[in-house]
Structure 1
């Protein structure tokens, strides 16, 4: 679902759009034909991959209590909620909105809340790690785990709900050209239209990205020397992937805002924006399975648990026996080294005593 409204949205504008060119008509039937094929396929693929990745990580959290952390768990919940909205948008893109007005508002609310909260939870995890390493012992208890994490989760959900409420207040189910559409309806409130676009960019991209960028730069400076590379790899991984997924979508939304301000008026430019919003939106939606995959691959404890869970009992026993053999050989080497050190020490002590090798006279 893009952030357009009926006057210039990717739904009504598929048919016509007035005021974009001097001729007054800007037909976009080919854009709609493209979206009817492209969007359902991409939404379905994203939905399946997200279910697999998020349920895998959620299962690990449920099975192993030591892996369970508040912020990653809420990130998974947020991504699952976002995934639940994708089948509705897939059906909508293929035909029309068939679920009614109340469902239109409910799905839009879940979609926007989970979109904001997912990105903010990704940033909150980096902020949590930075505070754990940077905060001194004298830090007030409110900034320490787990109270701090509870406050952070509450704030993320609060900001996400408040941000989504602005969008949902303008969303409604309408009939247009004998088809029902679920999209924004701003009437003449152009200011609110521009506000929702900038809010999407600021709360959905700029704020999380700046937090991720700050933590990826500062965390290696406050981490221990032996864990500097591991910390940098973890933070840089999330920062780079987040930027690659969300930056193109944010640029297109910004261009749409400039179009609302009549910076761009050409029909061909508007058509290019419509194609761009579909492609970049699908790229951004990949975050729902990219987040859990990144968390599993960059977290050694989680990856080790998942790898062991995927092994057959025979493979697990063989690995355990091999690891036991390695441990025994290492222990034997340590004991042999200790005996050798003891013998060397005993010889050195004996050498200090003259005639030590002769039997003592009684």
Structure 2
């Protein structure tokens, strides 16, 4: 059996890629002839750039709006510890998703042409990609856990003071995920594809331990990037719904149930197919599943599609965790009105609008203890 190096999002089937490399195309001998890779290569060239640019645009717009609203709110409070816990986690989630989106055009260029940015940019881009994948899902788990504490256990004592602790928790997450992304700094490089002559940015492990490294990274990705966040979300949201059932009206119960189901289902739809295919690939590596050309072809195509679906989660997060909040939409509307006023309204009208906004809900006692951007706030 002969194996080529990967040149796209990794399927984990080669010995020289990691969980977040870009496509794996595996060539091995079935009977006498090697499997054909031309269909997979042609499909990925057509599909990947379009998918990445679409995710990039949607994530850029959504997360930039979230950051603008958060910045506007923070400037009105004059304190880094004035957010609720969920607002703090949402801020870091938006930063993580935005950084992830900014990496995608580099790999879109790789697919349309080749990697033209050099080894240094390759290492940094790969590290940022892995860093923000891990950070994004862990911040989602933190948001669900904070809502669990606030709703189920009604933990509100010292709310503003505790948000500074949330900043520390976010810093710990960033540092830990940075350590996980060090694999890219160490092993990622630019290589020339055999048979195609194109330069691509990918992980290239040492030949002696490549299979062990790749299986370890796949297992780590499955646990930290999917399994653990999913368990935390399921536990927290089930407890939240049970708590709301005993205290809320029937209409509020239905609305909360729809929201909870939406949050969990979007996470599952985005990441479950990719992780299922990665698990299948791990079983192939362990020899528990027999390799065939058709199975490898299906895995190559499937992981290209499902990984782009997983990446789209960074575009869905602003919709699910920001725009769904009533107070967030209200603040966004006020920001848009202020911008429109600055463009076309007379100065005295803008001054009156600014005065009304300053004395509004920002200074209310309710806004001191509730999230402006939280789900179910």
Scaled by the length of structure 2, the TM-score of the pair is 0.74
Residues 160, 3 of structure 1: alpha-carbon distance in 2 compared, 3 angstrom cutoff: farther
Deviation at 1:148, TM superposition (A): 3.7
Structure-2 change in CA distance of 1:231 and 1:160 (3 Å): farther
Which segment drifts farther, 218-227 or 101-110? 218-227
Distance 2:257 2:180 in 1: 31
**Counterpart in the other structure of 1:250:** 275
State the match for 1:4 in structure 2: 12
Q: Are positions 1:131 and 2:149 aligned together?
A: yes
Q: 1:239: how far off?
A: 1.5
Is it true that 1:226 corresponds to 2:243 in the alignment? Answer: no
1:82-93 alignment to 2 at 5 Å? 82-93=100-111
Match of 1:62? Answer: 71
Aligned partners of 1:78 and 1:118 also within 8 Å: yes
Do the aligned partners of residues 241 and 11 (structure 1) sit closer, same or farther apart at CA in structure 2, a change above 3 Å counting?
A: closer
* Gap change, CA 1:8 and 1:29, over 3 Å in 2: farther
Map Cα deviations across residues 304-347 of structure 1 (whole Å, 9 max, x no partner): 22234445669xx9xxxxxxxxxxxxxxxxxxxxxxxxxxxxxx
Q: How many residues align?
A: 314
The correspondence of residues 112-191 of structure 1 with structure 2, limited to 5 A, is 112-135=130-153, 145-177=162-194, 178-186=197-205, 187-189=207-209, 190-191=211-212
TM superposition shift of 1:155: 2.9
Cα distance in 1 for residues equivalent to 2:329 and 2:34: 55
Quick one: higher RCO (CA 8 Å, sep 6+), 1 or 2? 2
Structure 2, unaligned runs of 5 or more? 1-8, 350-377
Determine the structure 1 residue equivalent to 2:31.
22
Matched, 1:44 2:53: yes
Change (3 A) 1:234 1:151: farther
Given candidates 192, 212, 215, the residue that maps to 2:213 is: 192
Rg: which structure is higher? 1
Report the TM-score when normalising by structure 1.
0.77
Cα distance in 1 for partners of 2:263, 2:173 equals 18
Deviation string for 1:113-152 (max 9, x for gaps)? 001101111111011111233447799x89x822441232
1:300 aligns to what?
326
The 2-side partners of 1:295 and 1:12 are apart by: 30
Structure 2 residue 282 is matched with structure 1 residue 260: no
Gaps of 5+ in 1: 318-362
Which residue is equivalent to 1:236?
A: 261
1:71·1:124 contact (CA, 8 Å) conserved in 2?
yes
Conservation of the 8 A alpha-carbon contact between 1:5 and 1:184: no
Q: CA deviation at 1:252?
A: 1.1
Residue among 288, 307, 314 paired with 1:281: 307
After TM superposition, give the deviation of residue 232 of structure 1 in Å.
4.3
TM-aligned CA deviation for residue 99 of structure 1: 1.4
- Which residue of structure 2 aligns with residue 329 of structure 1? none
In structure 2, C-alpha distance between the alignment counterparts of 1:11 and 1:286, rounded to whole Å: 15
2:224 paired residue number: 203
Per the TM alignment, residue 22 of structure 1 is displaced from its structure 2 partner at its CA by 2.7
1:259-289 CA distance string (max 9 Å, x none): 2223231111101101001110111111111
For the residues of structure 1 that align with 2:56 and 2:257, how far apart are their CA atoms? 30
By how many angstroms is 1:27 displaced?
2.0
Asked if the contact 1:35–1:94 (Cα under 8 Å) also holds between the matched residues in 2, the reply is no
Alignment RMSD: 3.1
Per-residue Cα deviation, 1:58-77 (whole angstroms, up to 9, x for no partner): 11111123795211000000
Tell me if structure 2 keeps the 8 A contact 1:7–1:13.
no
